[in-house]
Chains A and B, each alone.
Chain A
């Protein structure tokens, strides 16, 4: 096949794909504004009532036009864990202490100690404080200690530029989309969990119900509809920032321009696309 022919074929493929995606988005949008919010009986009424907010125009989402990135300002994080809860509900993640698409870590340096005490909402002490695995709280376990320094660090999939998980996937069930999200095709994954092993960040887990690997998608079903990922949507202190790097006016572009950012475990060469402000030497 010569180059021109190849190019044409690719473009034709993309057009077909976009058509499909456009349909999906339109369907989703109608459901969002009517079906999922109102009772079923009201569905028909809502669709015809002129007062009801009009469904956003179904605009085809073009993955090639976006370059998503995520920012975390750890100095703002208050450890309320609403992001963790929102993520679990939005993405129907198993409601236990062993499966998280996002989580928050707490680093506490006690007086006279060089290494931090680290825990997350999944720590047994914190589960005991919340009273249930389904609720997420940081217990006040250091209230009687002398604390030198302490901070929270929200974690999620880094949607790396060179994702180790995608590299090791034997089937092509996990891949990096053209707009930068690393996602999983749940209908194609064989469940070998090699990607779970390969991720240096512990961002992946095995979905015990679907029996496939699962992970953060940056709420791909939301960002393709112009919404923010659920964790960003609910963060009450704007510690989480998300947006399109192709848009110079976006929050993430400004976040990256205004801050000296770092990434986690840069030595792995994965080149994360989740950028941190205000983390410390012991954060990994």
Chain B
């Protein structure tokens, strides 16, 4: 019979029940995905709400990417649940003192909001396709039009008002969704490594940097694939955004860590032992040095020297890749790292890596890759690129 669980090895003393990790790599993927959603949506809103024209080339793609990612946000959670078929219990009888009870509502509302905004943004395209395509694809677009081909100036005015309203609502919704994830961890008094008032803010800022980085990487990648020139100004704008937010995230993480060390409450010995041995490479080297300090240095150098053109794009893309590593590493160090420090304050656990199985690495990787496959499909159904949209409408 297949083992029902994989027990963790431990040193020192841990409560006997702690040897089974409640949350595995799927729960690392979950905040990573929501972070990407919130970050990508932020970039999209910079254009939609704040009218930053330099983000126009990626604005629609950012929205579409958000939507694709958001659709998969519940999957790691559902895979993780003991009884996924009962998931709606949390929605039907939400226990309001639980941060987690909010998830269904936050996520549901946000998926709806993203869907609506995407729909409004791509409505001209939908109508155009509905009128030109035949057969099954045509039917698909015709259903999406809701039976109205109205693209009059009045209708478009309505649409842009809706888009603006949705984008404005989306900012608190996206950030609420992600701040909530931080709260989920930060509000638990049982774990010193999580229990921090700064946790929601840290999660939020790391979300923004991950989403921005993802857009940089995906945008540059898509330009290469589509063989169109990269809009350097747009990438530079995202580079600036990234620089600022990474700086702030790093500061917050530093402050939080300093707080834990300085307050030195019960269990600090175990935490110090943990960070100075097991977390040395994942935390200080990968997350802080490679994932945060290096991109800041790269970006600072690029902006300081006024590097332009291809070199600038390459530099910012490299920085973006590093930040993506930083954020997933941060999620890992928080989710798994927190559970590796025993609640007794007298022992450490070793996360039992699993490749197969419902909560194995393979499942987590699939969940992480799936939104990008969906994205590949969606950019064909709803082309988000400005140049193509223009070509189509002419």
Q: Which residues of A contact B (CB under 8 A)?
A: 97-100, 103, 105, 118-122, 155, 164, 166-173, 188-194, 196-206, 208-213, 268-269, 284
Report B94-120 CB contacts with A as 1/0, cut-off 8 Å. Answer: 110111110100000000000000000
Is the CB–CB distance between A190 and B87 below 8 Å? yes
In Å, the complex CA distance between A172 and B89 comes to 9
Is the CB–CB distance between B17 and A169 below 8 Å? no
- Specify which of B16, B22, B266, B346 is in contact with A97 (CB 8 Å cutoff): B16
Residues 57-115 (chain B) with a chain A CB within 8 angstroms = 77, 80-84, 86-87, 89-90, 93-95, 97-101, 103
In Å, the complex CA distance between A206 and B359 comes to 14
Given contacts A169-B95, A202-B15, A284-B266, contact A212 B4 (CB under 8 A): no
Is the CB–CB distance between B16 and A172 below 8 Å? no
Is the CB–CB distance between B86 and A190 below 8 Å? yes
Is the CB–CB distance between B83 and A191 below 8 Å? yes
In Å, the complex CA distance between A120 and B19 comes to 12
Which of the listed residues B14, B18, B80, B95 has the most CB atoms from chain A within 10 Å of its own CB?
Answer: B95
- Specify which of A120, A155, A166, A209 is in contact with B4 (CB 8 Å cutoff): A209
Given contacts A197-B23, A197-B190, A200-B189, contact A190 B16 (CB under 8 A): no
In Å, the complex CA distance between A103 and B15 comes to 9
A167 cross-chain contacts in B, Cβ below 8 A: 97-98
State how many angstroms separate the Cβ of A132 from the closest Cβ of chain B.
15
Is the CB–CB distance between A168 and B100 below 8 Å? yes
Main secondary structure of the interface of A (DSSP, over half): loop
- Specify which of A119, A197, A210, A268 is in contact with B22 (CB 8 Å cutoff): A197
Which residue of the partner chain B has the closest CB to A115? Answer: B346
B22 cross-chain contacts in A, Cβ below 8 A: 193, 196-197, 206
Which residue of the partner chain B has the closest CB to A213? Answer: B82
Residues 261-282 (chain B) with a chain A CB within 8 angstroms = 266
Main secondary structure of the interface of B (DSSP, over half): loop
Which residue of the partner chain A has the closest CB to B95? Answer: A172
The 6 closest A-B pairs by CB, nearest first: A191-B82, A202-B15, A211-B82, A208-B4, A122-B16, A118-B13
Which residue of the partner chain A has the closest CB to B265? Answer: A267
State how many angstroms separate the Cβ of A128 from the closest Cβ of chain B.
15
Is the CB–CB distance between A205 and B17 below 8 Å? yes
Q: Which residues of B contact A (CB under 8 A)?
A: 4-5, 7, 12-20, 22-23, 77, 80-84, 86-87, 89-90, 93-95, 97-101, 103, 184, 187-191, 266, 339, 343-346
Is the CB–CB distance between B190 and A190 below 8 Å? no
Is the CB–CB distance between A284 and B5 below 8 Å? no
- Specify which of B93, B103, B344 is in contact with A172 (CB 8 Å cutoff): B93
In Å, the complex CA distance between A64 and B244 comes to 58
Which residue of the partner chain A has the closest CB to B4? Answer: A208
A284 cross-chain contacts in B, Cβ below 8 A: 266, 344-346
B80 cross-chain contacts in A, Cβ below 8 A: 192-193
Which residue of the partner chain A has the closest CB to B17? Answer: A205
State how many angstroms separate the Cβ of B98 from the closest Cβ of chain A.
4
B16 cross-chain contacts in A, Cβ below 8 A: 97-100, 103, 120-122, 202
Is the CB–CB distance between A206 and B20 below 8 Å? yes
Is the CB–CB distance between A194 and B100 below 8 Å? yes
In Å, the complex CA distance between A166 and B80 comes to 20
Which of the listed residues B13, B16, B344 has the most CB atoms from chain A within 10 Å of its own CB?
Answer: B16
Q: Can you list 18 A-B contacts with CB-CB less than 8 angstroms, sorted by A residue number?
A: A97-B16, A99-B16, A120-B15, A170-B94, A170-B98, A170-B103, A173-B89, A189-B83, A192-B100, A193-B23, A202-B16, A202-B344, A205-B17, A208-B5, A208-B20, A268-B189, A268-B190, A284-B266
- Specify which of A120, A192, A209 is in contact with B81 (CB 8 Å cutoff): A192
- Specify which of B19, B84, B93 is in contact with A98 (CB 8 Å cutoff): B19
A194 cross-chain contacts in B, Cβ below 8 A: 98, 100, 184
Is the CB–CB distance between B83 and A190 below 8 Å? yes
A196 cross-chain contacts in B, Cβ below 8 A: 17, 22
Is the CB–CB distance between A170 and B95 below 8 Å? yes
B101 cross-chain contacts in A, Cβ below 8 A: 170-171
B82 cross-chain contacts in A, Cβ below 8 A: 189-193, 206, 210-213
In Å, the complex CA distance between A67 and B80 comes to 36
B7 cross-chain contacts in A, Cβ below 8 A: 97-98
In Å, the complex CA distance between A269 and B187 comes to 13
A197 cross-chain contacts in B, Cβ below 8 A: 22-23, 188, 190-191, 339
B90 cross-chain contacts in A, Cβ below 8 A: 170-171, 190, 192
B93 cross-chain contacts in A, Cβ below 8 A: 171-172
Is the CB–CB distance between A201 and B20 below 8 Å? no
Given contacts A118-B346, A170-B103, A284-B266, contact A205 B20 (CB under 8 A): yes
- Specify which of A166, A168, A173, A202 is in contact with B18 (CB 8 Å cutoff): A202
Which residue of the partner chain B has the closest CB to A172? Answer: B95
State how many angstroms separate the Cβ of A188 from the closest Cβ of chain B.
6
In Å, the complex CA distance between A99 and B20 comes to 8
In Å, the complex CA distance between A211 and B79 comes to 12
A204 cross-chain contacts in B, Cβ below 8 A: 17
B103 cross-chain contacts in A, Cβ below 8 A: 170
State how many angstroms separate the Cβ of A269 from the closest Cβ of chain B.
8
Which residue of the partner chain B has the closest CB to A190? Answer: B86
State how many angstroms separate the Cβ of B341 from the closest Cβ of chain A.
12
Which residue of the partner chain A has the closest CB to B101? Answer: A170
In Å, the complex CA distance between A189 and B98 comes to 14
A210 cross-chain contacts in B, Cβ below 8 A: 82
B188 cross-chain contacts in A, Cβ below 8 A: 164, 168, 197-198
